Structure 1
Amino acid sequence: MKKVAIAALIAAAASTAAYAGTIDPVVIEPEVIIEEAASSSSAGLVVLLLLVAVVAAASS
C-alpha cells in the first residue's frame, strides 16, 4: 500500500511540475524613482551662518 501511495505522490508531483511554466511574456513593471525636491535657499543661509559662527569662534 505504501508503494502505491508513493507512486501516486510522485505521479502527482511530476504532473504539476509539467504545467508550472507559462508561455506568457514576463511583465516587468518600471521602477519608480522618487526624487526629492531641491532644498530651499533658506537652508543655504543657515549653513552660511553656521560657517560664519564657526570662523568667528575659531578666530577668538
Structure 2
Amino acid sequence: MKKLALAVAFAAAATTASAGNMSEPVMEAPVIVEETAASSSAAGVWVPLLLLAVVAAVVAAD
C-alpha cells in the first residue's frame, strides 16, 4: 500500500512538473518609439504676429 501511495505521489508530481505544450514560444515584436523633431516653442507665435502686422498695416493705411 505504501508503494502504491508513493507511486501515485511521484506520478502526480511528474505530471504537474511537465504541464504545458511543446509549441514554440511567441516572441512579441519590440516597440520602437520614433522621436519626432521638436519644433521650437516660438513656431506658433509667427502666425498671430503676421496677422497683427497685417492688421496694423491696414489701420495705418487708413
TM-score normalised to structure 1 length: 0.40
- Tell me which structure has the larger Cα radius of gyration: 2
